[in-house]
Amino acid sequence: MLQQALDMREEGDALFDFIGNQEASAWKRPTPFHDWTIWDIIAHLHFFDRMALQSLTSETDFKQAADELVTALLQGEELSSIARQKLATHGPTDLLEIWHQGYIEMCDRLSRADPLLRLKWFGPDMGVKMFTTARQMETWAHGQAIYDLLRVKRRNSDRIKNVAVIGVKTFGWTFINRGLEPPAEAPRVKLTAPSGELWQWNEGNRDDRVEGTAEDFCLVVTQCRNRADTGLRITGEVADRWMSIAQCFAGGAIDPPAPGDRAW
């Protein structure tokens, strides 16, 4: 079974358990992420988990749904309003359960998919492993806004490594997505895992480095935090440019939050 699918399932379960212990009234409170409520976030995750299932089962259905979504966005609709329209009849308890069942099905199908299969998404096609990692990354990143709203310190596990991996792999994408030429060599990334293990990438680069905890790195590449609100140590011009605009998710170029905007 694909390890990334197991990790995605655990990521979803951790968020499901956390939200399930909250009062229903909390679902209406705006989070630090564009004032989305908890309801908005879970609706968004379910909406795209469902699209992930379409990509797995029918390229034609996925293309139709993706074209409709892109058209709506070009016409000025916002992602949160689109999800609201699709799922408006579901209250918090109902929405939480259909999201729960949806990601379980998605993870099950991903775990049994051909490892060589490439799946359509918003941006370049992805292999099954990276596609699954992308779903975990989005679940983790949007979940962070809920932890921030409720002022609860998240206890991360070493499955966060998948989020760090996609953060490292999208170094070039960060620049290309902004119409910029990617630097020739990616910075060295040296991170301390929640378990205390040391994770490293691009070890040959001695001039540009990003060092710190895996959690801080993941918060920056998912744009849950401004780099200034973390303990990351950034050395070199290329590393400095990267961490100022890092974006590991698909879609148009988006600027990170300003210093202090999502920190508490």
Q: What single string gives the DSSP state of each residue in 66-94?
A: HHHHHHHHHTT--HHHHHHHHHTT--HHH
pLDDT over 80 at 80, yes or no: no
Q: In whole angstroms, what is the distance from residue 84 CA to residue 199 CA?
A: 39
Residues 220, 227: contact at Cβ < 8 Å?
yes
- Domain endpoint, select from 114, 131, 154: 154
Contact by Cβ (8 Å): 220, 230 = yes
Q: Is residue 260 assigned to a domain?
A: no
Q: What is the average pLDDT value for the chain, to the nearest integer?
A: 95
* H-state helical runs in the chain: 3-20, 38-57, 59-74, 79-87, 92-112, 128-149, 161-169, 171-176, 214-221, 237-245
Evaluate whether residue 223 is within a structural domain.
yes
d(CA 187, CA 236): 8
How much is the pLDDT for 205? 94
Give the pLDDT band of residue 145 (cuts 50, 70, 90). Answer: very high
Same domain, 129 and 53: yes
Q: What is the domain-level CATH number for residue 221?
A: 3.30.1050
Q: Are 117 and 128 in contact (CB under 8 A)?
A: yes
Q: Same structural domain for residues 78 and 182?
A: no
pLDDT at 79 over 90: no
Domain closes at, from 99, 132, 154: 154
Regarding whether 207 and 105 lie in a shared domain, the answer is no
CA dist 90 and 27 (Å) reads: 12
| Mean of pLDDT values over 29-51 | 95
Residues 148 and 191 in one domain: no
Q: Which of 154, 182, 215 is the last residue of a domain?
A: 154
Q: For position 81, what pLDDT does the model report?
A: 82
- The band of 120, judged by pLDDT with boundaries at 50, 70 and 90, is very high
> Using 50, 70 and 90 to split pLDDT, how confident is the model at 10?
very high
- Is a pLDDT exceeding 80 seen at residue 7? yes
Give residue 77's pLDDT: 85
pLDDT tens per residue, range 60-78:
999 999 999 889 888 888 8
Residue 247 in this model has a pLDDT that exceeds 90: yes
**Domain membership flag for residue 188:** yes
Burial 228-247 (b: 16+ CB within 10 A, else e): ebbebebebebbebbbebbb
- Judged against a pLDDT cut of 90, whether residue 37 lies above it is answered with yes
pTM for the model stands at 0.94
Contacts of 162 (CB under 8 A, 6+ apart): 4, 7, 133, 136, 137
168 & 129 share domain: no
End-to-end CA distance of the chain: 38
Res 193: pLDDT: 98
Q: Please indicate, yes or no, whether residues 188 and 225 belong to a single structural domain of this protein.
A: yes
- Is residue 255 very low, low, confident or very high in pLDDT (cuts 50, 70, 90)? very high
What is the mean pLDDT of the segment spanning 153-165? 97
Q: What integer pLDDT is reported at residue 167 of this predicted model?
A: 98
Average pLDDT over residues 17-44: 94
Total domains present in the chain: 2
Q: Please name the residues in contact with 146: beta carbons below 8 A apart, sequence gap of 6 or more.
A: 15, 18, 19, 31, 38, 41
Same domain (yes/no): 142, 215: no
Which pLDDT score is estimated for 227?
98
Mean pLDDT across the stretch 215-236?
98
Residue 124: the pLDDT is: 80
CB 55 within 8 A of CB 69: no
Pair 166, 139 in one domain: no
